[in-house]
Structure 1
Amino acid sequence: MQKQKAEPEGAAERRVRITDDAALTLEAYADSIVPGEKRWPGDRAVAGAAEGGGAVTAGALQLLRWDATGIHDDLENLADLANDHARAYAQDAGLPPDPSVPPFVALSYEDRVALIRTLTAPGHPEKEFWVLLSLFCNMAFDSAAHLHTAEAIAAGHPGLRAMGITAPDDDGLWRFEDFGYGRELAPLHPATTAGGSPA
């Protein structure tokens, strides 16, 4: 395993720009998938439904905006659609409107989750969009796909820390004292390179 940069080369330049309202909405969605604690007292996107960092702190918005996901160009539309659904949900539930934030952000954590359950339920005509968005939000937390693993660990990435992923050795490589099957399955080929690839 070779050392890499903090994120895939050129990823920052390939991130789509989105409006503040879309960013807030997508962060609120991500926080509903893997909840975390508020980043500051007045944080509206993160509901504060769990302790520690959740999907938002793990970089869900950064990952979603990266063109490698394939949904980066549709983020504004997805945010608008989430807000349309939230507006209808609030109206049906008799919830008072809050014009200071987008409709999805205005929902409580419990209402956000209830709405997402509806959107991702079997038979919902938009299910595939919302399931895909949910998977990417979860991916930011459980694999930090948009970051170099060693640097994400060093920075205290909440998902990798929660799963107990250990830091690499000083040279940036992971080594394990114990073999996964309790024994060495085969001797190392003499032509194996220092990076672990065959010559």
Structure 2
Amino acid sequence: MTGPDRRDVLQALTGTLALLAVSGFPAKAATTDTATAALGSAEPWSTQTLLAFADTLVPGERRFPGDVVIAGAVTGPGAVQAGVLGLLGSPLLPLAPLLPSLASLLDARAVAYATLHLIWLPPDRPPFVGLSFRHRTALVGELFDEGGPDLPVWQVLALLVGLAFDTAAASDTAHAAAEGHPGLAWIGFPPPGPDGLWRFPDFTYGRALAALHPATTPSGSPA
């Protein structure tokens, strides 16, 4: 791996997770950037590679006709539409400077995969983007093989991709829900109440499992 070593990348990835957990990361992440989407292949190669990786994990529909970065394996939104690039590339997080190295590592694995399987890669796009969705999926599966040298890197990166879609991790949750975040809307995440708070009047098991402690505060905090 060229540039920063695996330890640097893994530290940046886990640092990103930690910041998201403790700060709520209120900065709003972009969803599908129509101006960028219109550029298509003018996106930096590292960006194309990372978007294609995210689309392999949480697939979505193409952003525009002829989009080669997003494979269009399904209809509906995926990680790209849910703002994964805004999350990974935010200047508020420690990961952004290392994204080109991550993309280079992924493209190097794509070249090795293509060579092994006698696949011709178009010269006008990054190697990983040049793979079909079927081969992208197969390669990503290999990245997660037990004992792989970069397994922790891909595991944490995949977790961030999932968080971008499932939790709108780069935005305030109430704000994201109000604006119709593609991932939250797709999974049917409930909107907050009028005061911006979530309350769940129905007990999970259909009944209260314990009596409320008399000293519990109005906010629900324990005494």
- How high is the TM-score relative to the length of structure 2? 0.73
Tell me what 2:40 maps to: none
Q: Secondary structure at the match of 1:168?
A: coil
- The answer to whether the Cα contact below 8 Å between 2:27 and 2:171 also exists between their aligned partners in 1 is no
- The answer to whether the Cα contact below 8 Å between 1:44 and 1:105 also exists between their aligned partners in 2 is yes
Residues 146-184 of structure 1, C-alpha deviations (whole Å, 9 max, x = no match): 111122222222322232211111111112232334227
The structural deviation recorded for 1:78 is 0.6
Residues 119-164 of structure 1, C-alpha deviations (whole Å, 9 max, x = no match): 1101211111112211111111111111111222222223222322
Structure 2: where are the runs of 5+ without partners? 1-23, 30-42
Aligned pairs for 1:76-115 (under 5 A) are: 76-115=100-139
- The answer to whether the Cα contact below 8 Å between 1:35 and 1:50 also exists between their aligned partners in 2 is yes
Q: Secondary structure at the match of 1:100?
A: coil
Aligned-residue RMSD, C-alpha? 2.5
For residue 109 of structure 1, what is the amino acid of its counterpart? F
Tell me what 2:25 maps to: 8
**Aligned mates of 1:191, 1:119 — CA distance in 2:** 48
Tell me what 1:183 maps to: 208
For residue 20 of structure 1, what is the amino acid of its counterpart? P
- The answer to whether the Cα contact below 8 Å between 2:26 and 2:172 also exists between their aligned partners in 1 is no
**Aligned mates of 1:196, 1:66 — CA distance in 2:** 33
Q: Secondary structure at the match of 1:22?
A: helix
The structural deviation recorded for 1:10 is 5.8
% identical aligned pairs = 44
Range 137-146 or range 91-100, more displaced: 91-100
Q: Secondary structure at the match of 2:25?
A: coil
The structural deviation recorded for 1:54 is 0.7
For residue 103 of structure 1, what is the amino acid of its counterpart? P
Q: Aligned residues, how many?
A: 186
Aligned pairs for 1:48-127 (under 5 A) are: 48-66=72-90, 70-127=94-151
1:36 to 1:183, Cα distance in 2 relative to 1, 3 A: same
**Aligned mates of 1:120, 1:68 — CA distance in 2:** 28
Q: Indicate whether 1:23 and 2:40 are aligned.
A: no
Dislocated runs of 4+, deviation >4 Å: 9-12, 67-70, 188-191, 195-199
